[in-house]
Amino acid sequence: MAHFSIPLPARRTVSIDLSRFNGIVRLLANRRVQLALMILVPILLLTTFRSVLPIAGPLETNLRAMTKAPSLEHLFGTDRMGRDIFSRTLAGIQISMFVGFAVALLSLIVGLVVGTLAGFFGGAIDRVMMTITDIFLAFPSLLLAIGLVSVMGTGMLPVVLAISLSDVPRFIRLQRSMALSLRSRAYIDAARTVKASHLWLMTRHIVPNTIASLLVAASIAAANAILVEAGLSFLGLGIMPPAPSLGNLIRDGQSYLEQAWWISTLPGAVILLIAISLHFLSDGIRQVLDPRSRK
């Protein structure tokens, strides 16, 4: 499928190299990726264009429609201040997606740089890094995040940093172990014999061979970050109300569970849906990028 020849009127042919898009094409052909995108794309479109939808704003109160059950007018119902839960959920997804993406990106970059250095050079750098990651890995992730939020305060930035700090050591470990096993491969030795610099070896020979696994880990980290952020906000330690983070929505509804079940349960179901589709995405990426699973 690598080359297509398109005959042109002037008897010349233009050859398009499709192999550059091979990865993306194969990714889109994967059933799990398709399933994930079938959930994620509509959700992302809805959240992006929520301002033009015919729904009330996420913070808009309406005293004539307090604690209304789900209906066509209010898809997810309203809370006790008459705020539209569907609109708040869409706004919450935006916050969640941002947190998930920021955490995944931050962990990926730090993990890639530090892990490559530690694995490639070994020795003292490696030992120091491993001791430090050991210390961070000694905390259960949510508890580390709680501890860090207690120091840094609540809000978007502290939450992103707190969640990232528990993910970064895992990324460093992953990248380090891959770099460690790659650095003694024959092709690296071959590159060394032609005096390739350390930087060249790392950027041209190590990173391209490890990035796939890191991407898989990153999409799981994103799903996980969304769950942890919701957990923190639910405990009142994350993003502060009235910002409609999904955790805050569920927390709001907790005391009205009996009278208004929809306030908590529907936003929670959306979190679940997003987490599942991100896991499908990571599964799909793994299937496509893992050379052993190629047919």
Q: Dump strand ranges (E) for the chain.
A: 3-7, 13-17
In whole angstroms, the minimum distance from the beta carbon of 156 to other proteins comes to 18
Residues contacting residue 118 through CB under 8 Å, at least 6 positions apart: 125, 126, 129, 130, 172, 176, 179
Closer to other proteins at the Cβ: 51 or 255? 255
In whole angstroms, the minimum distance from the beta carbon of 265 to other proteins comes to 6
Per-residue DSSP letters for 183-252?
A: TTSHHHHHHHHTT--HHHIIIIIIHHHHHHHHHHHHHHHHHHHHHHHHHHHHTTSSSPTTS--HHHHHHH
Coil/strand/helix, residue 65? coil
In whole angstroms, the minimum distance from the beta carbon of 237 to other proteins comes to 6
Q: What residues make contact with other proteins under the rule CB under 8 A?
A: 131-132, 134-135, 138-144, 146-151, 223, 227, 230-231, 234-237, 247, 250, 253-254, 257-258, 261, 264-265, 268-269, 271-272, 275-276, 279
Closer to other proteins at the Cβ: 167 or 202? 167
Closer to other proteins at the Cβ: 69 or 269? 269
In whole angstroms, the minimum distance from the beta carbon of 74 to other proteins comes to 20
In whole angstroms, the minimum distance from the beta carbon of 225 to other proteins comes to 12
In whole angstroms, the minimum distance from the beta carbon of 62 to other proteins comes to 25
Coil/strand/helix, residue 15? strand
Residue corresponding to tokens 């890191």: 214
Distance CA 22, CA 263 (A): 44
In whole angstroms, the minimum distance from the beta carbon of 128 to other proteins comes to 11
Closer to other proteins at the Cβ: 56 or 114? 114
Closer to other proteins at the Cβ: 202 or 250? 250
Distance CA 158, CA 167 (A): 14
Closer to other proteins at the Cβ: 37 or 230? 230
Coil/strand/helix, residue 283? helix
Cα angle 144-272-44, degrees, rounded to a multiple of 5: 100
Closer to other proteins at the Cβ: 46 or 132? 132
Q: Maximum distance among all alpha carbons in the chain?
A: 78
Burial of 73 (0-12, 13-18, 19+ CB in 10 A): middle
